[in-house]
Structure 1
Amino acid sequence: MHPSRRLFLQQSAAVSLSSLLPLRSAFGETSMPIGIQLYTVQDELKKDAVATLHALAKIGYRKVESFPLQDITAAQMRSMLDDAGLKCPSAHLFFGMADNAQLFDQANALGANYAVSSVLLPNTIQGADLPKMMDIIKAFTLDDFKKIAAKANEIGAQAQKAGLQYAYHNHNFEFRDYGGHTGYEILLKETDPKLVKFELDCGWMVTSGNNPIDYFKKYSGRYPLMHAKDFPAGTPVTTTLGVDPNHRPTEIGRGHIDFKPIIAAAEKSGLQHIFVEQDPPIEGMTSLEAVGVSYEALRPLV
């Protein structure tokens, strides 16, 4: 079967499946379009990027957040997004592993307003060496977070010169307790609010034992971006980076996170963009089916 035809059938199945599932609506009434972090559907993008983007648009997504794809340039992605009627207001980038100017060029080529760090380390490393990165993160100290805050300010200043706004995306390890203080506390305190904004990943923050509503209320104006990510009931609280194979991220509405009050607090705080994200591998359905289910749980009334 031609890849485009196969993906169309998968997308149609996703919409049909989601309409049958007893999912609670997280959004209620809102005019904010729902976006998708393309990391979630990376497997389908590698097979047929054009068909995948059109499938996302047909589900109802109007915005995407990019992540690096080795075989697709930023200019090529921008052309495909334009053709599918999708916008890319935010770009996830691997700062510290490539020249920042090149990364900003990629973000601008995509038409993004935000340049977001997927992970930010205190020191530059060569290449995307995931095992090495995990070891570095496990050994973080509060002093390392101070270095990261200084690095974030530097990136933020460079981003503004490139016509972009830098934002830091959290996982769960930033909330590790260091004798009554956390790394996330350092990042919020020691970064310039004009240079450094934040993308709040709800799934990882809740998994760390913290409530996103508290942060949206306390740090109004610092969170223009949000990841809607859900985890199943019974997911243990942890600040160790990595997905628990027994409690993998799940589709929005099928987990334990109540997004309705979170989104209400986020919008009052100045939220501009919401992106659905589900970390692969996705079990029991295709990634396109999964994002169809998540969209149906979050879709605004139109």
Structure 2
Amino acid sequence: MDLPVALELYTLRNELKDDFLGTLEKVAEIGYKGVEFAGYGGFSASELKKYLDRLGLVPTGSHVGIDLLKDRLDEVIEYSIEIGNKYIVCPWNKYETKDDFISTAKLLNDIGKKCKENGLVLCYHNHNHEFQLFDGKYGLDLLYENTDPDLVKAEIDTYWVEYAGVNPVDYIKKYSGRLPLVHLKDMEEGTRDFAEIGKGTMNIKEIIEASQKAGAEWFIVEQDVCKRPPIESVKISFENIKKM
């Protein structure tokens, strides 16, 4: 596999609370090349940058809530630049109507413009609720259609696409050239619970192939809920991806 593999640190949120730097070290020891942040453990950008460099971990993105993106974007951009993070990701937003998607798209365009002016890239990360239909069109498609492809990119979470009843391979192909980041997850048969990659029902090999052809730069492993100790789960996922 040509593309490097990173870990979404939300998976290890409880471990990070107990020992942020020690947990990053374990992630590096497993073999992950990068990490996607969901908070910085209270460390300054300069402190975190030094530690990432020491471990050889690349910041592959940072999930930042939409309120912070609206109200404190300058700080968000400054921190990302200092740690060497290229991708700022809006991880979630609430929608009820078609107009909610269109108004969010306008907001994301404004945020993405400022990110681009500072050499960064804004992405939007989906869940399943964005696949609500409006006049036969998914809300997520409305969001992407009403944003400038140069200002707002996709971080497609393949689990939530599958969960919504949509084929993730087809959806990846649909946004070819616009998705630098792809979340790899797996789904237990029957329960549809989160599973380690390679232990579920999703066609990971086809997802990987489609992502590579679509121009993705990073695969990012995430497991929202783990039935094993999370550090064990992320190791299993990494090893299974290597086997593929």
Q: Cα deviation per residue 1:31-57 (whole Å; 9 max; x = unaligned)?
A: 222110011112112212222112111
Q: Distance in 1 between matches of 2:2 and 2:241?
A: 12
- From 143, 152, 156, the equivalent of 1:187 is 143
Q: Distance in 2 between matches of 1:276 and 1:187?
A: 24
**2:9 aligned residue:** 38
Superposition pairs of residues 211-250 of structure 1, within 5 angstroms: 211-235=167-191, 247-250=192-195
Q: Which runs of 5+ in 1 are unaligned?
A: 1-29, 121-136, 236-246
2:38 is equivalent to residue 95 of structure 1: no
**1:9 aligned residue:** none
2:29 is equivalent to residue 84 of structure 1: no
- From 137, 142, 159, the equivalent of 1:203 is 159
2:222 is equivalent to residue 277 of structure 1: yes
Q: What TM-score, normalized to structure 1?
A: 0.76
2:233 is equivalent to residue 290 of structure 1: yes
Residue 66 of structure 2 aligns to a residue in which SS? coil
Higher relative contact order (CA 8 A, sep 6+): 1
Q: Cα deviation per residue 1:159-210 (whole Å; 9 max; x = unaligned)?
A: 0112101111111110012341221110121111111100000011110111
* Amino acid paired to 1:190: N
- Would you say the 8 A contact 1:142–1:182 is kept in 2? no
- Would you say the 8 A contact 2:221–2:234 is kept in 1? yes
- Would you say the 8 A contact 2:3–2:212 is kept in 1? no
2:96 is equivalent to residue 117 of structure 1: no
Q: How many residues align?
A: 242
Rg larger in 1 or in 2? 1
2:77 is equivalent to residue 104 of structure 1: yes
* Amino acid paired to 2:208: I
Q: Cα deviation per residue 1:77-105 (whole Å; 9 max; x = unaligned)?
A: 22221121111021111132341111111
Residue 76 of structure 2 aligns to a residue in which SS? helix
Q: Distance in 1 between matches of 2:89 and 2:82?
A: 15
Does the C-alpha gap of structure 1 residues 66 and 47 become closer, same or farther in structure 2, counting only changes over 3 Å?
same
Residue 96 of structure 1 aligns to a residue in which SS? helix
- Identical counterparts, % of pairs: 37
2:165 is equivalent to residue 173 of structure 1: no
Q: Distance in 2 between matches of 1:52 and 1:186?
A: 38
- From 102, 114, 117, the equivalent of 1:161 is 117
Structure with a larger share of its residues in strand:
2
Does the C-alpha gap of structure 1 residues 76 and 46 become closer, same or farther in structure 2, counting only changes over 3 Å?
farther
- From 31, 39, 42, the equivalent of 1:71 is 42
- From 255, 263, 266, the equivalent of 2:200 is 255
Residue 185 of structure 1 aligns to a residue in which SS? helix
- Would you say the 8 A contact 2:4–2:217 is kept in 1? no
Q: CA deviation at 1:300?
A: 6.3
Q: Distance in 2 between matches of 1:293 and 1:142?
A: 40
